[in-house]
Structure 1
Amino acid sequence: MNILDVLSAPTYDNTVEGIEFHSYKPYVTSFNRNDEIRIPINQQDLYVLPSASTLYLEGTIIVSKKDSKDKASSVNFTNNALLYLFQDIRYELNGVEIDKIKNAGVTTTMKSLISMNESESKVSNAWGWNIEGTKNINGGDFSASIPLCNIMGFAEDFKKVVINSKHELILLRSNTNLNAVKLNTGEIVEDVQINKIIWRVPHVKVSDKEKIHLLKLLEKDRPLQMIFRNWDLYEYPALPKTTKHTWSIKTSSQIEKPRYVIIGLQTNRKNNGSSDMSQFDHCHIRDVRVYLNSTYFPYENLNASFANNKIALIYEQYARFQQSYYGRRSEPLLSEKQFKDLAPLFIVDCSRQADNLKSGPVVDVRVEIESESDIPDQTSAYCLILNDCIIEYKPLSNIVRKIS
């Protein structure tokens, strides 16, 4: 800004004349366990902003009392409970899947724990996020408005409108409700019933000048790119009772390249209503190393010891994530004690990769886990990989393809 330019006139951005939220409902009206729920947007002549859309839920908790079923008077939800009610969530553009998360509760919990700061965590109470502990649901009724950007990487990273396309959000209900609740002794939850699901999507109204520009772009049928990082979760249901284990996770293309690998362990938490599914266990892990082909990360061993409170390097990996991933000052949500007690996640930054990884067509991803003592029985391992992803779509011919 030139401080001597006294004749400069004010400028205003009038390209967007308004943003209106429109509600879209599923084809079906019952949302039972294992049901597939499809929410379509079939009208194509719209400027839709998926990144600002939200998923609105209403429901009721039903408990068993002898031979009758009654609405619960008081039940404890786990942190991020409502997303544990869904197994998979995927987004389709013109009938082609462009993004998907598996095991929605675990995926979004791991991603939110490392991404949120304290103020974002407080705002997220609106959709059942409560890092301080379980949330008591009085009266048995609940509602939540969950931003899509907290559910999948496509909505978090791609902040532009999508033009002249059909959209569909598909949700698969989980086969159990136990992962969403924290039960006290003797409590039995018959059902966590979802009564209403609405996808609230912003429609963007643009100025006449911008509309002409976008129509010309549409006529040319020029391919438009959507670049984002998807959240890919892998599960090892039962780790062997040993002090060292190698886990071959996946083979990925050079385009869909792993940038961050997050490892979390849980002992006897899955499908166990008496344990909190939103928390993780350290299992006395000493080192976690990620191999991309023959290149490994981190370069040096961590040599951690949870028993002796030697976790500074592991916490440092966690604290640095936001700066590396978002390019902002890191404001970690968890203190070192909370990190140790609630979510000891191992974050391996692979974003800076050597040129020798580019020599082959694919990248093999494997993880080595080493612990101070045998890994406990009934311990599951989760690996969340944040990958580069590029989708290309043609708005006139409705062709969608993943660039690989």
Structure 2
Amino acid sequence: MSTNQRPMFNVFRKVNFDDSIEKIEWRTYYPYTRSFRNNDIIEIVINQSTLFDATYDSQLLVSGKIIKTGDGDVSFVNNAPAFMFSSVKYVLGGGSKEMELVQDPGIVSTVRGYLGYTSEDSKHLAISGWNFPNSPKLNPDGTFTFLIPLRHFFNIFNDYRTVICGMQTFTFTRANNDANCFIVKEKTPTSNTTVKMDIQNVELKIKRIYPESAIKEKLLEGVAANNSIIMPYRQWDVQVKTLAAGAISDAEKRPILDYDVFKERTLFVIDCSRRDENERPSTVDVRLEIEAAQGFPENTRAYCIIIHDCIMEYLPLDNIVNNLKA
């Protein structure tokens, strides 16, 4: 006979309150340099060895102004802030071992958004520049402000949702041009409108968690003992080719693309995870061949995003990161 008691019969239970968090604050960090032109490198460093940050809930603020010459209409594309950068990088610890490097973050985050975001997500992310099927709003005076969750850039913060202590470095490399960020519609065939983007400010908004004293003491004891912190997540790597498209994902929610939109934004998802680990080679060689009833339009570009598991080990006292699986 089972001795387990159903919750409905636990009438003498005590009331429990979650008092594990003493305080939550938002801290602002600024880059070392204030130059945000094309090809510039924007680096923001957080160096707190005894404090704990919910980096997975932190945000990047980008503000600036569009300078237009001509009478054409200018509007942002969906996910415009991500296209402002050619790469984004996250480094944990004092070394050069990167936790995640995302090339073409505009493409990667767009594909991930199509596969994983819902219509409700799009509403919440409107201030981040993701407002599919609509486009971000540009103020009448040409100014703009975006507040983008770091998890929109870095998938590690979607998978690893635990506080982090120690030195963290974020590097955002500006794109060599901003043509992918906006669309210009000329009013007349002879008009020629030029657009320049002037980014005036970049800030990192970090969510800092202050645990109650007993939990904090236990965490700091683990740091002092240099206990290893295992961080599993999935890395998104993009490859660019022509006349074919492929993507691999593990989306659990209903995507925001319907059948009509899918024709213009075609995505193929292939699950390659079910195979013998012993036969897996050290390098990944993927080839996709796609045939179509009609020819692909001129200048068609295709992006293959390979998602693979990463397991990192972080030694908080030594500020060292080891790659256990990648």
Q: TM-score if structure 1 supplies the norm length?
A: 0.73
Q: Equivalences for 1:115-264 in 2 at 5 Å?
A: 115-137=116-138, 138-163=140-165, 165-185=166-186, 186-236=191-241, 238-239=242-243, 262=247
Matching residue of 2:59 = 54
Tell me which moved more, 347-356 or 202-211: 347-356
Q: Is the 8 A contact 1:49 1:161 kept in 2?
A: yes
| One of 311, 316, 325 as aligned partner of 1:395 | 316
Partner of 1:293: none
Q: Tell me how far apart the structure 2 counterparts of residues 212 and 121 of structure 1 sit (CA, whole Å).
A: 40
Alignment size in residue pairs? 313
Whole-Å separation in 1 of the counterparts to 2:301 and 2:160 = 32
Considering only aligned residues, what root-mean-square deviation do their CA atoms show, in Å? 2.1
How far is 1:340 from its partner?
Answer: 1.5
- The answer (yes or no) to whether the contact 1:218–1:396 under 8 Å persists in 2 is yes
Instruction: Give the unaligned 5+ runs of structure 1.
Output: 66-71, 240-244, 248-260, 264-320
Q: Please name the residue that 2:3 is paired with.
A: none
Cα distance change on mapping 1:79 and 1:187 into 2, 3 Å: farther
- What is the correspondence of 1:291-330 to structure 2 with a 5 Å cutoff? 325=250, 328=252, 330=253
Letter in 1 for 2:25: E
Matched, 1:386 2:304: no
Cα distance in 1 between the residues matched to 2:20 and 2:135: 44
Q: Structure 2 stretches of 5 or more lacking a match?
A: 1-5
Deviations 1:277-330 (A, max 9, x none): xxxxxxxxxxxxxxxxxxxxxxxxxxxxxxxxxxxxxxxxxxxx6xxx25x4x3
Are residues 192 and 218 of structure 1, via their aligned partners in 2, closer, same or farther at CA, if it must alter by over 3 Å?
same
SS of corresponding position for 1:60: strand
Aligned to 1:89: 88
Deviations 1:25-48 (A, max 9, x none): 001112000000001112322111
The one-letter amino acid paired with 1:221 is N
Letter in 2 for 1:147: P
For residues 62-97 of structure 1, the C-alpha deviation after alignment (integer angstroms, 9 at most, x for no partner) is 1125xxxxxx99621011011111100000112321
CA distance in 1, matches of 2:151, 2:316: 23
User: Aligned partner of 1:380: which letter?
Assistant: R
**2:89 aligned counterpart, secondary structure:** strand
Q: Are 2:30 and 1:25 aligned?
A: yes
Distance in 2 between residues matched to 1:394 and 1:355, nearest whole Å:
28
TM-score (normalizing by structure 2): 0.89
Question: Of the two structures, which has the highest relative contact order with CA contacts closer than 8 Å and spacing of 6 or more?
Answer: 2
Quick one: structure 1 residues 181 and 355, their matched pair in 2 at CA, closer, same or farther if it must change by over 3 Å? same
Q: Structure 2 vs 1, CA of residues 379 and 5 (structure 1 numbering), >3 Å: closer, same or farther?
A: closer
Offset of residue 365 of structure 1: 2.5
